[in-house]
Copies of this chain bind each other. A is one copy, B any other.
Amino acid sequence: MLCFVTTDAAIEPSFLRDALTRCVDRTFNMVSVDGDTSPSDSIFVLANGMAGNRPFDHSNGTVFEEALGYVCEHMARAVAADGEGATKLLEVTISGAASPGDARTAARTVAGSMLVKSAVHGADPNWGRVVCAAGRSGAHVDPERISMTLCGVPVMAHGMPVPFNESALRSLLADSTVHIVVDLGLGSAHATAWGCDLTHDYVTINASYTT
């Protein structure tokens, strides 16, 4: 990935660098297509100052950073949705984690799990795979405290399965965006990761492409 962001705003370089780091940390760094990385993955921001505003810095740059974050999230989602062979965007939100690091780790692991990605491809409400992925992620997890929704439909509450209309949920899971929300019930930290479904086309593309 080579990403270039340009703006005509006047900005202090040190603030721009810090704001970009924060934005990338919760957007591009939370994207997984297949878990593999490229040596060239990079993002650049260029600001030429032609807007002539009072330069943004740590004291007045909030609105600029929000806008930069909006752009980064939009593109990060696009990277995931456009993953090789993908037919769906997978959005995984972990809340109630014991720490921000736990929330990030669990969200990334669920979004990158091959079994979860396959289930999403098949519009299969397989919440057990989500629990397993969160459990092996390294984040602190207590199965009896987990609650979960798939596409807004509760499937698990405080570690117990919640009955749901399977055919209705399968229809929702056939949508082009699938949102999995897991409340770990342990704290107040949260994070979102983006991925995509695993398809036959992913295998076809990557089994026959030589670099």
Binding site for B on A (CB under 8 A): 34-39, 113-115, 118-119, 121-122, 124-126, 128-129, 132-133, 135-136, 198-200, 202-204, 206-211
Contact = CB atoms under 8 A, between A and B. Distances in A.
Contact of A129 (B36, B122, B126): B36
A121 B121 CA distance: 21
Contact of A118 (B35, B122, B129, B207): B207
Contacts of A124: 207-210
Contact of A132 (B37, B113, B129): B37
22 contacts: A34-B114, A35-B35, A35-B114, A36-B113, A36-B114, A36-B115, A36-B129, A36-B133, A114-B202, A114-B206, A118-B203, A119-B207, A121-B207, A122-B206, A124-B208, A124-B209, A125-B210, A129-B211, A198-B206, A199-B203, A200-B203, A203-B203
Number of copies of this chain that the complex holds: 2
The winner among A204, A207, A210 for most chain B CB atoms within 10 A is A207
A23 B202 CA distance: 35
A135 B39 contact: yes
B210 A126 contact: yes
A166 to B, nearest CB: 9
Contacts of A199: 203
B204 A200 contact: yes
B119 A206 contact: yes
A202 B198 CA distance: 10
A122 B209 CA distance: 9
A36 B111 CA distance: 12
Given A119-B207, A128-B211, 4 more contacts: A35-B35, A124-B207, A199-B203, A203-B203
